[in-house]
Structure 1
Amino acid sequence: MSSISRTRLVAVAATTVLAALSLTACNDGTGTQDEGHATGTSTSPATASPAPSAATDQAPATGSSAATGSSGAGAGSAGGGAGTSASRTAVSRAPASSSGPVTCEGSTTRTVAAPLTRPVNHMLLTVTNTGSKSCYLYGYPVVRFGEAQAVPPVIEASQPQAVVTLAPGESGYASVNLSATDGSGANGYTAKTLTVYFQGRSGSGSVGRAATPSLPAKGTYVDDSLKVTYWQQSMDDAVSW
């Protein structure tokens, strides 16, 4: 057989195979498929299908970010709460510290000086708390009659067991021995004015405003026997000296 005949035979055989394949494809309606083409065809829907799903997956991520923001806001709120708590603690300590007793002095008390008939040559000092807080009457009254420069001594035996405390409206007392009953006192004079100074806790010097109670119009006679008692909680204790 010549080479031309063999070529024609191969061509006819190839044509017959192709025709058979075409006929098979037309019969099942799927078209011609090979591995490479099938993979490409299935990949296209697979790629298109996850796209919405991917968008959906991103939504919770955004939501998580928003939740984180909320948590941050929550932390801010908690911080605000802590700030509020600190403010309350500052406001709650101020009243506590300002509600305790203070030292009695002239601006928050009223002082009255009244001569006594018994004991003779004595005067009673009455200090009434006119303030809104309790106050302490420390020590004894530091009195000054007229222009006297010296401070009268205190009767040490009259010291009470505790500091005199006056609630609002309450009174404390001290007596003043004005002069010797037997006339033995020296350097006597008649005073027209009286100034009463209040001691602080330390007992040295005076604190606050002094009181200036009125004296009888004729004045009050004093001499070198002048001395005072400690402040007392009751009038009876004050006049017993």
Structure 2
Amino acid sequence: MRIATRSVSRTTASSMVVAAALALVGVQAAGQTASAATNKASSIATCTSANTQLTVTEAARPINHLLLKATNTGTKPCYAYSAPFLRAGADAQAPLPWAEETIPQAVLEIKPGQSAYAGIWTFSPDGEGGSTKKTLGVTFADRNGNATNQEKTLTLPNGGVFFNSVATVTYWQDNAADALFW
């Protein structure tokens, strides 16, 4: 009877050692994965006017829309957080509102040489007021949704664009079609 007890105890002890070893390996692997994710996140910058080239063009369709394009000119990827803060005209008191229905499922990572896009709805006959603006101030958002304080002023096409109360901008998208779809 005693021999059977020892056999069970040794088996139990061996199982416990194996389980502890596996748990330790799992903790180390989880730590390495978390460390790798942290290192990747820290190696990706926030997109700003310093590491991107910004252009604004009139969209053929839909009417009353502009397309804002941000191309990464840096040497490492950057994150285009949320949507751009846009100031239509030098006298704008507040940025254009963001189209909440265009929130992407993840933050957009722009690799060097690649682009992100935002659609801008400028006016609707149903909107109120409005005037023609000649410039568009663009500021990127940081990871907390705040402005980066590095505005780039772009000249609007056709000598100016009419904006009224419906003017809205989409969140950053990975292609022009999605940015102009809404």
TM-score norm. by structure 2 comes to 0.74
**Secondary structure, counterpart of 2:157 in structure 1:** coil
Q: Is the 8 A contact 2:83 2:169 kept in 1?
A: yes
Where does residue 180 of structure 2 map in the other structure? 239
* C-alpha distance in 2 between matches for 1:157 and 1:151: 18
Where does residue 81 of structure 2 map in the other structure? 138
RMSD over aligned Cα atoms: 1.7
Residue of structure 1 aligned with 2:95, choices 151, 164, 172:
151
Taking the TM superposition and a 5 Å limit, the aligned residue runs for 1:36-51 are none
Identity %: 40
Structure (1/2) with the larger helix percentage? 1
Residue 104 of structure 2 is aligned to residue 160 of structure 1:
yes
Where does residue 67 of structure 2 map in the other structure? 124
1:23-56 per-residue CA deviation (whole Å, 9 max, x = no partner) reads xxxxxxxxxxxxxxxxxxxxxxxxxxxxxxxxxx
1:153-209 per-residue CA deviation (whole Å, 9 max, x = no partner) reads 1111111111110011100001000001xx1211210001110011000013x1152
Taking the TM superposition and a 5 Å limit, the aligned residue runs for 1:71-90 are none
* C-alpha distance in 2 between matches for 1:99 and 1:158: 27
Structure possessing the higher relative contact order (Cα contacts under 8 Å, 6 or more residues apart): 2
Residue 101 of structure 2 is aligned to residue 101 of structure 1:
no
TM-score norm. by structure 1 comes to 0.57
Where does residue 151 of structure 2 map in the other structure? 210
* C-alpha distance in 1 between matches for 2:59 and 2:110: 23
Residue of structure 2 aligned with 1:113, choices 56, 64, 69:
56
User: Where does structure 1 differ by over 3 angstroms across 4 or more consecutive aligned residues?
Assistant: 96-99
> Which residue identity lines up with residue 130 of structure 1 in the other structure?
T
Structure 2 gap ranges (5+):
1-38
Structure 1 gap ranges (5+):
1-95
Q: Provide the aligned length of Structure 1 versus Structure 2.
A: 143
CA displacement at 1:217 relative to structure 2: 4.3
